[in-house]
Amino acid sequence: MEATLSAVSGVGNGIRIISEWNIWLSVVLLAFFLFGGPFGWLMGFFVSIAGDYLWNAIPMGFQTFNSPGDAAWQGGWTIFYWVWWISWAPFVGMFIARISRGRTIREFMVGVMFVPTTVAFFWLCIFGDTAMYMEMNAAGGVGTAGIADLVRNWNLPGALYGTIDQVTRWAWLNWIMATPATFLLATWFITSSDSGTLVITTMLSMSDDDPPKRFRIAQDLHA
């Protein structure tokens, strides 16, 4: 229902407002992990892995495996990412073109490539490394925090809440911060769904910049 209402209200209202809320709540959640967790350890690890990535990006990008097991793994992940990006690229590309109208090439490159890449790198480092720190420094010994077990069992929401529950020693604060995390799980999906709905209905309406609302409602109900 929320996704349908957002899609019907258009880019300038529903999608924009929810996207702005997403950004601010994401900043709050990121700050909670960064300053509530092992700040010094996270910053040091971030610098280390950033250097490792920049140093090894080109060699690893051209590396191929010959042993059957490694080759199967590499091929499987390659196909996985091919399918992922082939499915997302058409509507994401058209949506970015729509909201980038009137921007310069420089603004487009910075806003679409450099800033999101940097933020995603920092985001994954802070969240992933916080969970790693908890597993490495668990009171019962390495690997006893329970987060890794949840990931191995594909209980990713449980891993998220399990990590939040251990960020600080104040249980009430951890419980409060689980609220924006829950909200973000829904709203990030809604904005992605809205983008797809807008692009699909634009194509159905012969590239009309403002597709009929009945098209948007029908597409959201179908999805």
The 3-state DSSP class for residue 154 equals coil
Q: Rounded distance, CA 159 to CA 26, Å?
A: 18
Quickly state the pLDDT bin for 31 (edges 50, 70, 90): very high
Looking at residue 7, its pLDDT comes to: 54
Quickly state the pLDDT bin for 218 (edges 50, 70, 90): low
pLDDT, greater one: 210 or 59: 59
Looking at residue 39, its pLDDT comes to: 92
Which of 41, 16, 14, 42 is closest to 30 using CA atoms? 42
Q: What is the mean pLDDT of the chain?
A: 81
Looking at residue 37, its pLDDT comes to: 87
Q: Which two tokens stand for residue 133?
A: 């720190």
Quickly state the pLDDT bin for 212 (edges 50, 70, 90): low
Q: How many residues does the chain have?
A: 223
The DSSP H or E segment spanning 135 is: helix 115-136
187-204 residues labelled b (16+ CB within 10 A) or e (exposed):
beebbebbbbbbbbbbee
User: Is 28's pLDDT higher than 90?
Assistant: yes
User: Is 181's pLDDT higher than 80?
Assistant: yes
How remote is the C-alpha of 38 from its chain's centroid?
22
- Does the reported pTM lie above 0.85? no
User: In this predicted model, what pLDDT tens digit does every residue of 49-77 receive, in sequence order?
Assistant: 888 988 998 888 888 888 777 788 788 88
Which of 120, 123, 114 is closest to 30 using CA atoms? 123
Looking at residue 151, its pLDDT comes to: 84
pLDDT, greater one: 80 or 203: 80
Looking at residue 27, its pLDDT comes to: 92
**Averaged pLDDT, 39-44:** 91
DSSP string across 163-193:
HHTTSSS-HHHHHHHHHHHHHHHHHHHHHHH
DSSP string across 90-103:
HHHHHHHHHHTTT-
User: Is 6's pLDDT higher than 60?
Assistant: no
CB 158 within 8 A of CB 66: no
Looking at residue 15, its pLDDT comes to: 72
User: Is 8's pLDDT higher than 80?
Assistant: no
Which of 147, 153, 172 is closest to 36 using CA atoms? 172
Looking at residue 12, its pLDDT comes to: 58
